[in-house]
Amino acid sequence: MGISKRVEEARRAFLNGDHERSAKAHKPSAIAKAASEEHGGAGSQYIGDFVYGGLDGIITTFAVVCGVAGADLETRIILIMGLANLLADGFSMATGAFLSARSEQEYYRKEREREAWEIDHFPEGERIELLEIYQNKGYAKEEAEQLTELITRNKERWLDAMMVDELGMLPDESSPLLNGVATLVAFVLAGSVPLLVYFLGLVFPIAADLSFAIALGLSGVALFGLGVAKVLVTHLNPWKSGLEMLLVGGLAAFVAYLVGGMLKGLGAA
């Protein structure tokens, strides 16, 4: 297994209280094998964008459907508002994910360039900084001096240490474009779920009350499923995560339905 898989194995063993499984994950042979293999899957870094993009999509569109249904408006209005919201918000979310990831990477690069320049021009000052950092972490002065001496023998290793220990920054190797695409795809796919029955109603007439009930059921299942999928990122209890997301989405839909009901007269006008 790769390092990320070994860590996941150890995490699951801890959560399940499985001492034997945890000990197996910490055997020298398991650690050595993990270190020699590739770190994680290629798409693992985009799971968070996909899951949270999907959650935003389903909750947002579900709330729109409930609001329009609460106002007792026609199916075509639900589809128009639902699709407009789905595409506009999906694009906005994707753009935000792209710009956020790119900005963080650009900031990291700038800070690393600055640290490299400081090491080149003020090496002694940078050594003193690193020494003080390790002493503040609890190392004895002699230990901190030895650690600083070892790290500063290699510039790249020195740079890595300054970025992590001084600035608390880790490199992000993901693609901002793929971050945005994952968010958009998840948002549109999940956000389409509450609208499926209304699209079907364009071909096979379905009573408004039944359409809304089916939309509620589909959205509830999707919310619970995405809540369970969220544990791929949070590593929490899947049932608890699913029920929590179902509750949050349900509350958002309930509020939207109440507002739609209160504004029903305006919609009729």
Return the pLDDT at 45: 63
35-72 residues labelled b (16+ CB within 10 A) or e (exposed) = eeeeeeeeeebbebbbbbbbbbbbbbbbbbbbbbbbbe
Which range scores top for mean pLDDT: 66-80, 191-205, 240-254?
A: 191-205
Taking the C-alpha atoms of residue 166 and residue 126, their distance in angstroms, rounded to an integer, is: 10
Confidence of residue 22 (pLDDT cuts 50, 70, 90): low
Please enumerate in sequence order all residues whose Cβ is within 8 A of that of 95, keeping only pairs 6 or more positions apart, or say none.
180
And the tokens for 224?
Answer: 């619970």
pTM, 2 dp: 0.69
Least trusted range by pLDDT, from 10-19, 65-74, 117-126, 212-221: 10-19
Domain ranges of the chain: 1-41, 42-268
SS (H, E, C) 222-234: HHHHHHHHCHHHH
Q: How many residues does the chain have?
A: 269
Cα angle 86-90-95, degrees, rounded to a multiple of 5:
160
> Per-residue pLDDT averaged across 221-235, rounded?
76
Residue 30 has pLDDT above 60, yes or no: no
Tokens 């009901």 label which residue? 261
pLDDT tens, residue by residue, 150-182: 888 888 888 888 888 888 888 887 888 888 888
Residue 37 has pLDDT above 60, yes or no: no
Find the farthest-apart pair of alpha carbons in the chain and give their distance in angstroms, rounded.
Answer: 80
DSSP for residue 41: -
> Per-residue pLDDT averaged across 117-140, rounded?
87
Nearest CA among 244, 250, 265 for reference residue 66: 250
Instruction: Tell me if residue 205 falls in helix, strand or coil.
Output: coil
Return the pLDDT at 106: 92
Nearest CA among 25, 14, 94 for reference residue 53: 94
Residue 267 has pLDDT above 70, yes or no: no
Residue 35 has pLDDT above 50, yes or no: no
Nearest CA among 222, 197, 211, 173 for reference residue 55: 222
Q: How far is CA 157 from CA 13, 127, 136, 153, 240, in A?
A: 32, 13, 20, 8, 42
